[in-house]
Every structure is written in structure tokens, then in C-alpha cells.
Amino acid sequence: MTAKHSGPLGGRPAATTRGRLSDIAIGLFTEQGFDETSVDDIAAAAGIARRTLFRYYPSKNSLAWGEFGDHLDGLRALLAETPEDVPLGESLRYALVEFNEVPDEMIEQHRRRMSLLLTVPALQAHSMLMYGDWRQVIAKHCADRLGAAPDGHTPQTVAWMTLGTALAAYDTWLATPGSDLAELMWAGSQTLVDGVGSLGR
């Protein structure tokens, strides 16, 4: 696969006003604390009015996620580009690794973003909604391959497993300076491909 479709979960340079606002917010959240940073603080740092900021993001929580809708479109495109002869598990593995590819110049910013998303209690409820949308993209891909309904048990189980694989890689990456996110995604998804039974007793 040659196309690049990355974003959280995945990193991509901010190329739009929405992306720039999210980057400003991430910087303030990291420096001052999420709870201690107001929407007015973010608007002031961006040089815009509070009402203008709300044209781009409906809430402070959503700022931490950036251009999430665009990122989901990228994940759908990655999965759709997978040749039909590639097994389902491998298609998920390649999509996970490529979707979460982070350009060198974005690594530290992406680390800050993911640290906030995975550790700030005030973001957890909103994050679950975002993860739910992410899982549905995976479930739809699985359902299409299996001839099943996206809300069926098997597509949903695989979607949860895929999300868990990604989050486990991020958890290790954040806790282990110098670790390689792509390598962690690849290694972790081996269990996704082979199943728990391959691990032995």
C-alpha cells in the first residue's frame, strides 16, 4: 500500500486551521494542565475570539482529538485499499501500522497528544466516544469481509481487539522512551493475527 492516511490514533502535521488550533490546545494542556486551561486561554493563544474557536470545535475535549473525522476517513481509505486476497488479520495489521505512522518532526507533539488522551481523567468519557467511532470503522471492514452485520458479535469482537492492540502499543510507547511505535504496533498485532492460542500456556 502506498497511500498515506495517518492521524490519531496516528500523527499528521497540522495543515488546516482546525489542526493548528488543536496543536495550540495540546501545548497549553501540556504546560498548564487540561483542567487549568480554559477555552478562553486557547482562543487568546490562537489570536481569535472564543465564538470563532467554537466554529471549529464544539468543546474543549474535542480540541484534544484534532481533525478526528478526517483521520477516520483516512482509516476507511486504508482498509478499502487492501487487496481482497490479503487475509483479514493482515489487512488490520497493515492498516494499524500505516495509520499510526508518525513523521519524525511530529513525534513529540503526537506523544503529548496521546499522553493527554490516555491519562487525563476529564478526557476519558469523550475518548470512549471517539474510540467507539474508530471501532465502527474496523467493524464495518470486518463485516464486509465476513459477510456479516457490522454490529454482529464477531466484527465487534475483532474491532475491540484491534483497538486494544493499538492502545497497548501506545501505552508501552509512552512509558518507554526510545521505543518505536511502529515496531510495537507490528509486534502487538501478531497476536491479533494469530489469536491468543498461538501464545501457548
At residue 186, the 3 state secondary structure works out as helix
Domain boundaries, the chain: 67-193
CA-based nearest residue to 159, from 184, 182, 138: 138
The pTM of this model reads 0.86
CA-based nearest residue to 19, from 1, 27, 92, 75: 27
Q: Is the peptide bond before 163 cis (omega within 30 degrees of 0)?
A: no
Residue 40: is its pLDDT beyond 90? yes
DSSP states of 63-104: HHH-SHHHHHHHHHHHHHTS-TTS-HHHHHHHHHHHHT---G
Q: What is the CATH number of domain 67-193?
A: 1.10.357.10
Whether the predicted pLDDT of 42 surpasses 90: yes
* Residues contacting 82, CB < 8 A, separation 6+: 1, 91, 94, 95
The mean per-residue pLDDT over the stretch 19-42 comes to 95
Cell of 173: 510507547
HSE (side-chain half, CA atoms, 13 Å) at 13: 4
Q: pLDDT at residue 196 above 80?
A: no
pLDDT band of 185, cuts 50, 70, 90 = very high
- Determine the Cα–Cα distance for residues 120 and 33; give it in Å rounded to an integer: 9
Q: What is the mean pLDDT of residues 132-143?
A: 96
Q: Kindly give, in sequence order, each residue whose CB lies less than 8 Å from that of residue 118, ignoring residues fewer than 6 positions away.
A: 127, 167, 170, 171, 174
DSSP, residue by residue, 111-172 = HHHHHHHHH-HHHHHHHHHHHHHHHHHHHHHHHHHHT--TTSHHHHHHHHHHHHHHHHHHHH
